[in-house]
Chains A and B, each alone.
Chain A
Amino acid sequence: MDQVHVEAPVGTTVGTPLERAFASDFAILLNYVARLTDRIDEAGGITCETFREIAERRGAAPAGLRAELLRVATQRCRDLVRPRRWFGRRSAGTLLLEGFPDADARKALRRDTVQRALAALAFEERATVLLRDFVHLSYPEMSYVLGVPERKLVHALDRGRAELSEIYDYIKF
């Protein structure tokens, strides 16, 4: 298994809450964005902009800072992958994180069979499956991030996982 284990940074007990969230969640948020959008190059910029937006808003985070970060990041990804209109104005250029992805990151985020099957899912189903099985959010947090009532999440997960399994079975050979 070529899984890369990422140690949580030490020394996260100091600094502002946003700094602590940055130290502990930046890597997983970036990986989540890369998996969700299937665009490695833009994932770093989206993640940075997410932190920036949270910092400048200075609003309350009812479900916790981590859930708030994931909610904003998911919304940004949703805007990014939304199809544009014909001759629609292209959005402002996304921030590019220089030095990322390097060769190791490209290897870790390569389009293997599971990633290709994920990319074939609808966006909401992909987000649901990733938030639960990749980021390991709880159901209340997922409900806040996705804006879906908690009682509907089980069925959404059923649909997403069933479709993912079916697609994976088709393309795995």
Chain B
Amino acid sequence: MTTSSSERGRCTRISPSAVLDDRLESKDLEWALDHLKSCDVCRDRVEEFREIVVRVDRLPIASIPPSVLRDAYTWAIPEGLRTDPDLALGPMEGTLVTAEPRPEPTRFELPRWEASTREAPAALGRPAIADQPSPPPPPPPPLPTQSLFPLEDAISTPVHEVALDSHREEARPIGEETKAEESPPLEPDARREARVATMTRVSVGLVAAACVVLAGLLYVDGGLLTAFRTPPSPSHPASAGPRTSTAASVKPSRAPSPSASITPTASAPAAIATLGDGVAGDQVFRIRLGTADPRFTRLVFDMNGQGLPAMTVTQPDAQHLVVTFKDTTGAGTPVGGLRTVRLAGVEPAVQQGNDLVFTVDLARAVQVKAFTLTGPPRLVLDLY
């Protein structure tokens, strides 16, 4: 089971699973072993696969308590196919005979049909476990020997004579009986459930539609929110949008500012994190998304160099993060394709003197956790 192709420049002539699972014939096996001696890539892949096979093999196995196993047995094996749980399951509970009375016949949430089956008189005909040979009990316990089927236990105990209709209510006056007979029959459960489900779906749909309409009114093009906003003061023309203030805070413009109001309003954003060892001469060469966990977005900045440069992560506004690498290059780092539910994109890097600045566009308000890793040096941003 070998192939002669290559994938993304990697040698894939050998299927590691075929090697690990002994799926190779004699000739192929010889060829594969020869190839493995000479090809580091294939050898690494086989080792990588072997490691993951071992990890999956060593996943812990949850043990099941005997009582749960007995309940599962009662539910899973139909009566016709049951012989004796004590013999079938083995001595998992020591002895099947338990003196402690169990209040309910089963501890499952049974479907309705199952419950009715259990209560049916036909169920009484099955072989009782009490008939099985039991350990010699010198003093007869108050309840006979088994507890899996309390209904049968109740039958094997001394029986009191009770009138057949004793469970019924006292005879009511004739007028009430006729009234009850004339009342309309109850609606079948299935039909009632279907009606409730339909009504639920319709109501959920209506609520969802209302939410969409409300969101449209509020947020599309400013919508109704513009009515509540105070118009921008004519004396502060540059403070109209958050993007302007971001640019003003991140890149202190060298050109004379068109309005003097920028400087007092653009306060320096608070740093979320200041990281690194201050190593100079690094280069950021790649930015990638680093996890498959849907709970957060992981953005990883891969670097080449001797260590971690000084890095600062700031958030000038809710929609942007600014990551500054001191004494680092990498203005041509590709930033395409970085888009998730939390991440709108990463703008191309800007080299400001010796520093490299990335602006991360956020798709929603997030909580940011930043940390670094070495070997190779990386900066990791987790957006929650």
A-B contacts counted at CB < 8 A amount to 194
B64 and A105 contacting across the interface, CB-CB below 8 Å? yes
Within 8 A of A (CB), among B66-116: 67-69, 71-73, 75-78, 81-84, 87-92, 107-111
Contact (A12, B62) CB under 8 Å given A161-B16, A161-B17: no
With A and B bound together, what is the CA distance between A162 and B49 in angstroms?
Answer: 7
Chain B residue nearest to A117 (CB atoms) is B292
With A and B bound together, what is the CA distance between A134 and B91 in angstroms?
Answer: 27
Contact (A100, B290) CB under 8 Å given A9-B89, A14-B88, A95-B109: no
Size category, B interface: 35 or more
B76 and A157 contacting across the interface, CB-CB below 8 Å? no
Interface residues on chain A, number (Cβ under 8 Å):
77
With A and B bound together, what is the CA distance between A164 and B110 in angstroms?
Answer: 38
- Chain A 43-75, CB-CB to B under 8 Å as 1, else 0, gives 010011111100110000000000000000000
With A and B bound together, what is the CA distance between A75 and B21 in angstroms?
Answer: 25
- For A133, give its contact among B53, B75, B87 (CB under 8 Å): B53
Within 8 A of A (CB), among B196-239: 197, 201, 204-205
- For A2, give its contact among B52, B60, B109 (CB under 8 Å): B60
B77 and A100 contacting across the interface, CB-CB below 8 Å? no
B83 and A19 contacting across the interface, CB-CB below 8 Å? yes
B189 CB to nearest chain A CB (Å): 13
Apart from the given pairs A55-B78, A118-B56, 9 other A-B contacts in the complex at a CB distance below 8 Å: A9-B90, A15-B88, A22-B89, A98-B107, A101-B62, A104-B63, A158-B17, A170-B290, A170-B292
B: residues with CB less than 8 A from A are 1, 15-18, 21, 23, 45, 48-49, 51-53, 55-65, 67-69, 71-73, 75-78, 81-84, 87-92, 107-111, 197, 201, 204-205, 290-293, 373
